[in-house]
Amino acid sequence: MALIRSRVDSANAADCPFPLNNLPYGVFSTAGEAPRCGAAIGDMIVDLAACEARGLLDAGGTFAQDALNGFMALGRARWDAVRARLTELLAEGAAPDLPLVPMAGATLHLPIRVTEYTDFYASRNHAFNVGVLFRGPENALPAQWTHMPIGYNGRASSVVVSGTPIRRPMGQLKGEAGPRWAPCERLDLELELGAVVGAPSALGSRVSVEEAEAMIFGYVLLNDWSARDVQAWEYQPLGPFQSKALGTTIGAWIVTQAALEPFRSPGAPRANPLLPYLQESRPGLYDLEIGWSMNGQVMARTNYNVMYYSSAQQLAHHTSSGCPMRVGDLLGSGTISGPTPDQTGALLEMTGGGKTPVTVNDAARTFIQDGDTVALFATAKGEGYTIGFGPCTGTILPARP
């Protein structure tokens, strides 16, 4: 697909993350004004609440709210209609004046009220590498892993927007003579893509992969900060708990499924056929370069299409028991890792469990130190344009003993 030229000049540069082809949704505020919904275009934000107030589009008043949940709840037909209308309004040469706000002067907020948060485990490289470190090579990949997208319920209350500082947690760490209470010594990131669920399902009902795909509103960058030492001591048999509750950072911009449509890509080869309820009729992954940096230095790059399961498959599986989904549910893809260390989405993997330090701006690192800033990035490349997700960053504050 080629660039759609916009009246906002900055949106027409080939490397601008927010061309008219993208139009991600977010929530922003300006000095003295309440948070409201907007869409990114070039270096500007279209004030969607103001657009609606001027009668330029119709979202049932939901854009004046401080989260996109209300808009999402209007359903896919409205998502499509508003996107089409915005594409018209923002096109090169379009007529009406628009309420455009410079992004540089705006504060970005959490784009959704996160209803519930689920984190999956869908990169085979990551699952194998971490499995070796936690359980040894013979038990690395769990027996069910190639048959179902396994995941666990995370903690929605701990999801924060890009830029929010993250406090190093205290926790129980395994010791020689029983556990000790100490600051986490193995603080890590997890490079993920988060799928935002925009439509509900009922208790006792299941959705197919196709229906699941239609329920996904869009995607955000997601860093599932992890306390590996807390995790190692706590996680059997009920799974990770406090090791994953210190904070999960998401990007402020939700890139819609519509914007990613041209980048559909098959995923990793299958080890075995899936049960019918997980089979997809077309690829549900995207050709999306994704990576992370620490203190400005790029540490790893890989592609979202290394994953074994798509968000639609994960969502379908999530309803397999009849579990109801709600507008605003957030599904983490699982850490995205390619096969080599410079493609890994977590320090645990990159450093072989802390045994092989890496160099960050001439300093050795095994895990994250206080003051370190981790930033995720992702881009899809179209013809003459780039789809970006905006920043997803967090800086670590020292523990409070």
Binding site for a copy of itself (CB under 8 A): 115-116, 121, 131, 134-135, 142, 144, 147-148, 150-158, 160, 166-167, 169-172, 174, 178-181, 203-206, 227, 230, 233-243, 245-247, 272, 275-277, 317-318, 320-326, 329, 397, 400
- Smallest gap, in angstroms, from Cβ of residue 329 to a copy of itself? 8
Residue pair 327/288 in contact by the 8 Å Cβ criterion: no
> Which CB sits closer to a copy of itself, 61 or 204?
204
| Count of beta carbons in the 10 Å neighbourhood of residue 150 | 17
> Which CB sits closer to a copy of itself, 21 or 311?
311
Rounding to the nearest 10 degrees, give the CA dihedral for residues 121, 230, 356, 167.
Answer: 90
> Which CB sits closer to a copy of itself, 47 or 224?
224
- Smallest gap, in angstroms, from Cβ of residue 158 to a copy of itself? 5
- Smallest gap, in angstroms, from Cβ of residue 322 to a copy of itself? 5
> Which CB sits closer to a copy of itself, 95 or 177?
177
- Smallest gap, in angstroms, from Cβ of residue 361 to a copy of itself? 27
Is 126 a known active-site residue?
yes
User: Which residue among 126, 147, 317, 318 is the active-site one?
Assistant: 126
- Smallest gap, in angstroms, from Cβ of residue 311 to a copy of itself? 16
Cα-Cα end-to-end distance for the chain: 53
Q: φ, ψ for residue 159 (rounded to 5)?
A: -80, 125
- Smallest gap, in angstroms, from Cβ of residue 6 to a copy of itself? 37
Structure tokens at 122: 């869908």
> Which CB sits closer to a copy of itself, 76 or 167?
167
User: What single DSSP character describes residue 41?
Assistant: E
DSSP reduced 3-state for 230: helix
Residue position matching structure tokens 């927007």: 161
> Nearest to residue 162, comparing CAs of 370, 390, 334, 333?
390
Q: Rounded CA gap, 305 and 284, in Å?
A: 9
> Which CB sits closer to a copy of itself, 61 or 322?
322
Beta strands 385-388 and 373-382 are antiparallel
Q: Rounded CA gap, 308 and 285, in Å?
A: 9
Check whether the bond before 240 is cis (ω within 30° of 0). no
One-character DSSP codes across 77-115: HHHHHHHHHHHHHTBTT--S---EEEGGG-EEE-SS---
CA 373, 368, 332, 172 dihedral sign is negative
Residue pair 336/302 in contact by the 8 Å Cβ criterion: yes
Residue pair 156/113 in contact by the 8 Å Cβ criterion: no
> Which CB sits closer to a copy of itself, 6 or 319?
319
Give me the amino acid identity at 9: D
Q: Rounded CA gap, 137 and 134, in Å?
A: 9
Chain CA centroid to CA 140, Å: 25
- Smallest gap, in angstroms, from Cβ of residue 324 to a copy of itself? 4
> Which CB sits closer to a copy of itself, 205 or 340?
205
Q: Rounded CA gap, 71 and 48, in Å?
A: 11
- Smallest gap, in angstroms, from Cβ of residue 278 to a copy of itself? 9
Residues annotated as catalytic are 126
